[in-house]
């Protein structure tokens, strides 16, 4: 009996110890410190602008102290997809080159956001994001021009919405989405949230839809997103902007003002000024001063009170009173705006964007570092003409008889034609110049240096053929295959 009692006591002690141990292991399984160190992941690309023919290429690098479990890549914007790489064995590091290829006629393109997420076996994770512009003339691109990031609104005031859609095959519909829809009303008669082009009506390759909404919400936020559908039925969305609804009562805060301008301008170049205020904007404009000057060389404003708008974008022509023999000259630029409040609060710009280079078509402008809203630009003589659809120039030739300048646009597969007499580009250019037009010349008629001013020869970048173009009709006459020598 005693031995049996002792056994029972011993088992009871074991049970007590096991219970205590079980409680401890529930908090710390196995008595081992839980892994709390997240993995690392880095996405990198050799170029932030890539051609669709070469695919979307970037590199993924990920590490973890114990082992990676999953690498997830999420694509949004001009290409929508998601991929997962799951590891079934211990992998502590990964370096992998990713290349996404696209079939002929693909509508992918424009700004593509890639988010990489690395997760380890304990559930810890890290993320990294890159943005690549995929150049594709067939891409459907959608941009929300207005409102812009940081927009504010107030009940009873108006908010402009502007959406641009581009697709060479034609746009069937362009419009916007509001969430929640009850936050605004549309005074347009009849109310509409999109512009529709139904055949046989022409479906334009580039169009902008603008509408003005009246804010009904008294507080909170709502989201604005642009959308478009092309002639092939493909649909794309723009990035979204969150609009904050504020009260305009007793407003003593000046508007938020910013502007966009080139770092190098001519006297008649443009400046775009943006202003937002919950009370609405009454006046908007800009000011230009010389270095060390006391009196501005230009101070221009526009009365926009009638619009009752809480967000206003206005583009002005500088029209600086400077002549060529005074140039180049440095000038100080600022934006300016006043609100509709009883106190009439006014302010100069607090931020700005200075364009320092040409961006790819559909991509945001390339800008210098953010400034305090006052920038020094250089005013130069002459006139700059942007390409009709953007792109890149590989070669050029001037036709003195026709007073035309021909430029091969290898990025868009066309020849741009500039009429020197009219001082403007032909909007349509020459579309049949070959897949990647490169070298260009006038058609030679003899070996003494005489040329046919009505014919233009374009060499394809691949060296496979020549395209002979009619300078009068701006059409292809014929293609001449080049000999294929095996060396």
107 three-state secondary structure: coil
Q: Which of 284-288, 391-395, 482-486 has the highest mean pLDDT?
A: 284-288
Q: 250 pLDDT band (50/70/90 cuts)?
A: confident
Please give the residue that has the higher pLDDT: either 412 or 20: 412
Q: What is the pLDDT at residue 322?
A: 92
Please give the residue that has the higher pLDDT: either 17 or 395: 395
Q: What is the pLDDT at residue 60?
A: 96
Rounded Cα–Cα distance for residues 197 and 229 (Å): 10
Q: Is the pLDDT of residue 276 over 90?
A: yes
Please give the residue that has the higher pLDDT: either 243 or 463: 243
CATH class of 49-135: mainly beta
Q: What is the DSSP letter of 313?
A: E
CATH of 256-379, one of 3.10.20, 1.10.3470, 3.30.379, 2.60.40: 2.60.40
Q: Cβ(381)–Cβ(323) under 8 Å? A: no
Nearest CA-CA partner of 279 in 204, 359, 341: 341
Q: 191 pLDDT band (50/70/90 cuts)?
A: confident
Count of CB atoms situated within 10 Å of the CB of 480: 11
Nearest CA-CA partner of 127 in 138, 119, 112, 116: 116
Rounded Cα–Cα distance for residues 178 and 157 (Å): 16
Burial (CB count <10 Å: 0-12, 13-18, 19+), residue 193: middle
Strands 366-367 and 351-357, by their bridges, are antiparallel
Q: Cβ(128)–Cβ(280) under 8 Å? A: no
Q: What is the pLDDT at residue 168?
A: 81
* The two structure tokens encoding residue 250: 């007793």
Residues 6+ apart with CB under 8 A from 232: 107, 169
Q: What is the pLDDT at residue 47?
A: 87
Strands 264-265 and 374-379, by their bridges, are parallel
Give the model confidence (pLDDT) of 443-477 as tens digits: 998 888 889 999 999 998 777 789 999 999 999 99
The label of the residue with tokens 């990647």 reads: 436
When the pLDDT of each residue in the chain is averaged and rounded to a whole number, the result is 86
In 87-136, beta strands by DSSP E = 93-100, 110-120, 125-135
Residue spans in the chain of domains classed CATH 2.60.40.10: 141-245
Q: Cβ(57)–Cβ(98) under 8 Å? A: yes
Assign domain 141-245 to its CATH architecture. Sandwich (2.60)
Rounded Cα–Cα distance for residues 129 and 147 (Å): 24
Q: 25 pLDDT band (50/70/90 cuts)?
A: very low
The DSSP secondary structure of 215-226, one letter per residue, reads E--SSSEEEEEE
Give the model confidence (pLDDT) of 307-333 as tens digits: 999 999 999 999 999 998 999 999 999
Give the model confidence (pLDDT) of 2-24 as tens digits: 444 343 333 343 344 444 444 44
Rounded Cα–Cα distance for residues 51 and 358 (Å): 16
- Phi then psi for residue 194, to 5 deg, are -160, 165
The DSSP secondary structure of 434-481, one letter per residue, reads -SSEEEEEEEE-STTS-EEEEEEEEEETTSSEEEEEETTTTEEEEEEE
Mean pLDDT calculated for residue range 427-432: 86
Q: What is the pLDDT at residue 487?
A: 57
Q: What is the pLDDT at residue 100?
A: 94
Q: Cβ(362)–Cβ(143) under 8 Å? A: yes
Q: What is the pLDDT at residue 30?
A: 55
324 three-state secondary structure: helix
Distance, C-alpha 324 to centroid of its chain: 35
C-alpha distances in angstroms, 277 versus 151, 255, 272, 340?
A: 8, 5, 17, 8
Q: Cβ(460)–Cβ(440) under 8 Å? A: no
Give the model confidence (pLDDT) of 114-173 as tens digits: 999 999 999 999 999 999 988 887 788 899 999 998 899 999 999 999 999 988 888 999
CATH class of 393-481: mainly beta
Q: What is the pLDDT at residue 2?
A: 40
Based on its alpha-carbon atoms, the radius of gyration of the chain, rounded to whole angstroms, reads 31
Rounded Cα–Cα distance for residues 477 and 469 (Å): 5
| 0.85 exceeded by pTM | no
Residue spans in the chain of domains classed CATH 2.70.50.30: 49-135
* The two structure tokens encoding residue 346: 């006014």
Give the model confidence (pLDDT) of 28-84 as tens digits: 555 667 889 999 999 999 888 899 989 999 999 999 999 999 999 999 878 889 999
* The two structure tokens encoding residue 438: 């490169």
């Amino acid at each position: 009996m005693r031995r049996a009692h002792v056994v029972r006591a011993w088992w009871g002690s074991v049970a007590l110890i096991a219970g205590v141990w079980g409680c401890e292991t529930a908090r710390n399984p196995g008595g081992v410190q839980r892994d709390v160190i997240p993995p690392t992941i880095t996405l990198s690309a050799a170029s932030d602008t890539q051609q669709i023919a070469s695919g979307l290429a970037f590199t993924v690098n990920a590490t973890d102290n114990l082992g990676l479990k999953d690498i997830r890549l999420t694509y949004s914007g001009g290409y929508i997809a998601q991929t997962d790489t799951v590891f079934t064995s211990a992998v502590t590091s990964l370096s992998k080159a990713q290349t996404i290829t696209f079939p002929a006629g693909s509508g992918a393109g424009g700004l593509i956001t890639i988010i990489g997420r690395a997760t380890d076996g304990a559930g810890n994770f890290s993320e990294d994001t890159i943005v690549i512009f995929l150049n594709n003339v067939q891409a459907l691109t959608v941009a929300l021009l207005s409102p812009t990031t940081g927009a504010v609104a107030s009940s009873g005031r108006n908010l402009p919405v502007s959406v641009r859609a581009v697709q060479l095959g034609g746009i069937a519909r362009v419009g916007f989405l509001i969430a929640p829809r009850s936050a605004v009303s549309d005074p347009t008669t009849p109310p509409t949230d999109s512009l529709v082009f139904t055949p046989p009506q022409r479906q334009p390759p580039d169009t902008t839809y603008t509408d003005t909404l009246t804010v009904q919400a008294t507080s909170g936020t709502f989201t604005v997103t642009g959308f478009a559908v092309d002639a092939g039925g493909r649909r794309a969305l723009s990035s979204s902007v969150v609009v904050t609804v504020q009260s305009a009562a007793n407003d003593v805060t000046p508007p938020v003002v910013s502007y966009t301008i080139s770092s190098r301008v001519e006297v008649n170049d443009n400046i775009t000024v943006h202003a937002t205020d919950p009370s609405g904007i009454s006046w908007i404009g800009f000011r230009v001063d010389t270095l060390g000057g006391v009196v501005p060389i230009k101070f221009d404003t526009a009365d926009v009170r009638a619009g009752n708008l809480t967000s206003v974008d206005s583009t002005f022509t500088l029209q600086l009173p400077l002549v060529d023999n005074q140039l180049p000259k440095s000038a100080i630029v600022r934006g300016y705006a006043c609100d509709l409040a009883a106190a009439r609060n006014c302010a100069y710009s607090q931020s700005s964007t200075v364009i320092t280079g040409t961006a790819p078509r559909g991509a945001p402008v390339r800008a210098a570092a953010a400034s305090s809203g006052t920038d020094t630009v250089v005013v130069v003589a002459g006139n700059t003409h942007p390409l009709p659809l953007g792109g890149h120039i590989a070669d050029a030739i001037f036709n003195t008889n026709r007073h035309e300048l021909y430029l091969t646009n290898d990025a868009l597969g066309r020849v741009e034609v500039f009429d020197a007499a009219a001082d403007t580009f032909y909007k349509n250019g020459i579309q049949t110049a070959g897949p990647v037009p490169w070298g260009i010349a006038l058609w030679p008629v003899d070996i003494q240096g005489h040329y046919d001013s009505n014919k233009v020869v374009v060499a394809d970048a691949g060296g496979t053929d020549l395209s002979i173009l009619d300078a009068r009709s701006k059409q292809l006459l014929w293609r001449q295959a080049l000999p294929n020598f095996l060396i």
